[in-house]
Chain A
């Protein structure tokens, strides 16, 4: 050990995770634990103004061009599921993160981490799915990397993708732009991806086949921006579901959010599965939906444009931003009561009975 005296005055606590001396699964769940990890450990360690925005993708200016830049890693189990595969997810997830900045994704990088022993035919199927999804999304895989880890040190295939795209002139999508009176629109039925994954991972069957909604949202976003570039914020409610996205927006914008619970489109099979397991569909992951905060005067036109697009046919207004209860999301229940819709802590846990 060095004899040099350590200057601790400039230190910030890297991890005030008092009760969590080790990483738990909830740190990757997209809820309060994930946010704490990023805000209190990663962000202080990395520094940088761009990162402080903490959006789905970063908006950066390079050589005069406004670029959206994003990365995501995919560790889904099983690798193939109803409605998609890890290959589709690895493209659509990153394309969607870019789309939430208003950007049309242009180039992706693709890093494969393969587990020793995984069948080559499986890798080939994943790669083909990834390529097909990229072509469908109009994005080119421009660079990549492959690593192999020892047997037992992975789940077959992990994928990391990063992507860049151009943000059109006049588009500035940030939670900070949300103001009371903005209308909250969701692009379709929620909870399909999470329930589809649960149904195959846990061997649960809910009487109806549920397919993941995995899809690239770039086209839908461009259709919305064609109506008006003045959308305030877009989010794709993946981990943590709609509840997490609404909470992030409420917290970052300092406005309250009110939703009508009965207006949130929940497919029957998702509602049934959630009822059985004691889960709340608002917290279940989606992979092909977005939530938009739109100035009231543009809401009808944006809604019409969304409904004219195949991925927005079931778009609905579910609520609005309000000046009451800043930072909180509140649901009006079907019976006329109200409840707070909180940020999930970690992962949702099925109830005992």
Chain B
């Protein structure tokens, strides 16, 4: 299959793995920033195939996971109002706020709709002029441009009953914050390819230089990840720390000028709280003054939100790469995808969910009677 199979070829993967195994002479800790990359790593078992001395630390790049509880509670509050149609990407519906989630709001009569594009929300606003339509605008540099575009369109078309609940975050300030942390163990980064396809690579050389870490721009298929790891390990073994683009099929150094122009027009940089981490300076976007009328927080008075994080949840440490999901006492017991304590367990890109879904076998010792059966030896396989 074009564009998918090519990047999952077992033979090519074996060659990349051989190269990595042959290159590594001592332990290295790499952080993959994006939750999509975490998902690929765990789903395909890449971490099981790498040398033990290459540790992959999972970064804060799951947009659902890092959205602050306060913002989710605001979403729940707005979505509960009778005249509101609340639109969101699907995976936000299951993220717990304080005591409930958007699915629950829907079951209580709230008009919560899953959409596949923010422009769908705008269409719903045009079809329902007597009601307020709110789109939940979360995510990194990847989802921010289409959301900016939607607000731009709403203003241009004079659609007054549309607004955006904004909680957009930016990756480079998060990398900066992680590297400044005294407990940081990260020695190299696999930067998120889709973020760079929008923003270009201009923000990274300063980070690589300042913290003396290699940053390899990396895609999302298994071979992309292995190539990213291979290049990062080669740099580390040689004592280098440059920015290397291993995702050239999608990323140009200058990024996507049209998307950047849209971001520049509609948003402005602001300090932003990250769930489990805290406030990171200049790490987010909010609507600029020209578009303030489309800001759902301004349109709906949602003050006085009292959040309550589960005390047992250590997702903040997971998001900072300080703790592996299964090292949390609540993992798999108090906290499962069925009853998640934190967003890292509920989001499909969350590191805890990935470990629970795909790694439970190794993390909960199975009876030794027989090993995983040798399918290849089967007469009919």
| Chain A interface residues (CB < 8 Å from chain B) | 18-26, 32, 180, 183, 202, 204, 256, 258, 260, 263, 268, 271-272, 275, 277-278, 296, 299-300, 303, 317, 319-320, 322-326, 328, 330, 332-340, 342, 345-346, 349-353
**Chain B: interface residue total (CB-CB under 8 A):** 59
Cα A342 to Cα B348 in complex, Å, equals: 13
What's the least CB distance linking A241 to chain B, in Å? 15
Q: Indicate if the CB atoms of A325 and B361 lie closer than 8 Å.
A: yes
Chain A contacts for B372, CB-based, 8 A: 258, 322, 324-325, 330, 332, 338
B93 within 8 A of A: yes
8 Å CB contact of A317 from B64, B94, B337, B378: B378
With A317-B380, A339-B358 known as contacts, the answer to whether A323 contacts B45 (CB < 8 A) is no
- Asked if A335 and B45 make an inter-chain contact with CB atoms under 8 angstroms apart, the answer reads yes
Query: A324-B367, A349-B93 are contacts. A32–B338 as well, Cβ < 8 Å?
Result: yes
Known: A32-B338, A323-B369. A336 touches B49 (CB 8 A): yes
List chain A residues, Cβ under 8 A from B49: 335-337
Q: Kindly state the separation between the CA atoms of A339 and B378 in the bound complex, as whole angstroms.
A: 20
A-B contact count (CB 8 A): 162
Q: Are A333 and B44 in contact (CB under 8 A)?
A: yes
Task: Kindly list chain B residues whose C-beta atoms are within 8 Å of the C-beta of A340.
Answer: 357-361
The answer to whether A353 and B107 have CB atoms under 8 Å apart is: no
Q: What 4 A-B pairs come out closest when comparing CB atoms?
A: A337-B45, A349-B90, A339-B358, A22-B107
A335 to B194: give the CA distance in the assembly, Å: 23
A352 contacts B370, CB within 8 Å? no
Q: Which residues of A contact B152 (CB under 8 A)?
A: none
Quick one: CB contact mask for B360-381 with A, threshold 8 Å, 1 for yes?
Answer: 1100001101111101001111
Taking A24-B107, A339-B44, A349-B90 as given, write out 11 further A-B residue pairs in contact, using a Cβ cutoff of 8 Å, ordered by the A residue number.
Answer: A22-B104, A277-B116, A324-B371, A325-B367, A334-B44, A338-B372, A342-B337, A349-B91, A350-B116, A351-B91, A353-B142
Which of B1, B143, B359 gathers most chain A CB within 10 Å? B1
Partner of B1, one of A263, A272, A299, A346: A272
Given the complex, which residues of B lie within 8 Å of A351, measured CB to CB?
Answer: 36, 89-91, 348-349
CB-based contact B143/A353 at 8 Å: yes
- Partner among B13, B359, B380 whose Cβ is within 8 Å of the Cβ of A335: B13
Q: Mark B192-210, 1 if CB is under 8 A from A, else 0.
A: 0010000000000000000
- How many Å from the CB of A192 to the closest CB on chain B? 16
- Find B138's partner among A32, A323, A349, A352 (CB 8 Å cutoff): A352
